Structure 1
Amino acid sequence: MTEAAAHITEKRITVGEGPAGREIAILHRAAQKKTGLAFVWLGGYRSDMSGTKAVELDALAGELGIAAIRFDYSGHGISGGAFRDGTISRWLEEALAVLDDIKPKRVILVGSSMGGWIALRLVQELKKRKKAPQIDGIVLIAPAPDFTAELIEPNLTDAERRSLAERGYFEEPSEYSSEPNIYTRDLIEDGRRNRVLTGIIETGCPVTILQGMKDRDVPYQHALKLVEFLPADDVVLTLVRDGDHRLSRPQDIEKLRAAASALIMHD
Structure 2
Amino acid sequence: MSDAAVTDTPQFITVGTGAEARDIAYIVRPGAPDKDLPTLLWLSGYRSDMSGTKAVELDRFAAQNGFGCIRLDYSGHGASKGRFADGTISRWLEEVLAILAHIAPAEVLVVGSSMGGWIALRLAQELQRQGAATAVAGMVLIAPAPDFTSDLIEPQLSDADRAVLTEKGYLEEPSAYSPEPNIYTRALIEDGRKNRVLTGIIEVGCAVHILQGMEDKDVPYLHAMKLVEHLPADDVVLTFVRDGDHRLSRPQDIAQMLSAVENLVG
Q: Shorter chain as normaliser: what TM range?
A: over 0.9
> 1:8-34 deviations in whole A, cap 9, x for unaligned?
763100000000000000000111134
RMSD of aligned alpha carbons? 1.4
Say if 2:118 and 2:144, in contact at 8 Å, map to a contact too.
yes
Offset of residue 3 of structure 1: 3.8
Q: Which stretch of the first structure deviates more once superposed, 123-132 or 249-258?
A: 123-132
1:160 deviates by 1.3
* Aligned partners of 1:36 and 1:105 also within 8 Å: no
Amino acid at match of 1:18: G
Alignment correspondent of 1:63? 64
Any idea what SS the aligned residue of 2:47 has?
coil
AA aligned to 1:197 is L
- Does 1:25 find its partner at 2:25? yes
1:121 aligns with 2:122: yes
Answer yes or no: is 1:87 the counterpart of 2:88: yes
Count matched residues.
264
**What is the rounded CA distance, in whole Å, between the counterparts of 1:131 and 1:255 in structure 2?**
30
Shifted more, 73-82 versus 227-236: the winner is: 227-236
Give the 3 Å change call, closer, same or farther, for CA 231–163 of structure 1 in structure 2.
same
Indicate yes or no: 2:117 matched with 1:133. Answer: no
Please say if residues 202 and 233 of structure 1, whose CA atoms lie closer than 8 Å, have aligned partners that are also in contact: no
1:157 is matched with 158
Contact 1:43-1:112 at 8 Å conserved across structures: yes
Structure 2: which amino acid aligns with 1:173?
A: P
Aligned residue for 1:131, secondary structure, equals coil
Whole-angstrom distance in 1 between the partners of 2:9 and 2:234? 34
Q: Which runs of no fewer than 5 residues in structure 2 stay unpaired?
A: none
Q: 1:251 to 1:5 in 2, by over 3 A?
A: closer
The 8 Å contact of residues 41 and 71 in structure 2, kept in 1 or not, is answered as yes
Report the TM-score when normalising by structure 2.
0.96
Q: CA deviation at 1:132?
A: 2.3
State the identity as a percent.
Answer: 64
Output the amino acid matched with 2:174. P
> Residue 167 of structure 2 aligns with which residue?
166
Counterpart of 1:10 in structure 2: which amino acid? Answer: P
Dislocated runs of 4+, deviation >4 Å: none
Show the counterpart of 2:44.
43
What is the letter of the counterpart of residue 236 of structure 2? V
Structure 1 range deviating more: 246-255 or 8-17: 8-17
CA contact (8 A) 1:73 1:79 kept: yes
Q: For the Cα contact (< 8 Å) 1:29–1:67, is it kept in 2?
A: yes
Deviation at 1:36, TM superposition (A): 5.5
Q: TM (normalized to structure 1)?
A: 0.96
- Say if 2:147 and 2:197, in contact at 8 Å, map to a contact too: yes
Task: Classify 1:2/1:251 alpha carbon distance in 2 versus 1 (closer, same or farther; 3 Å).
Answer: closer
Q: CA deviation at 1:35?
A: 2.0
Asked if 1 retains the 8 angstrom alpha-carbon contact of 2:6 and 2:60, the reply is: no
Please say if residues 29 and 68 of structure 1, whose CA atoms lie closer than 8 Å, have aligned partners that are also in contact.
yes
Deviations 1:109-144 (A, max 9, x none): 110000000000000000012332121100000000
Residue 224 (structure 2) pairs with residue 223 (structure 1): yes
CA deviation profile, 1:27-77 (whole Å, cap 9, x unmatched): 001111342620000000000000000001111111110100000000000
CA contact (8 A) 1:9 1:28 kept: no
The residue number in structure 1 matching 2:194 is: 193
Task: State how far apart, in whole Å, the 2-side matches of 1:19 and 1:248 are.
Answer: 37
For residues 133 and 260 of structure 1, do their structure 2 counterparts lie closer, same or farther at Cα, with a shift above 3 Å needed?
same
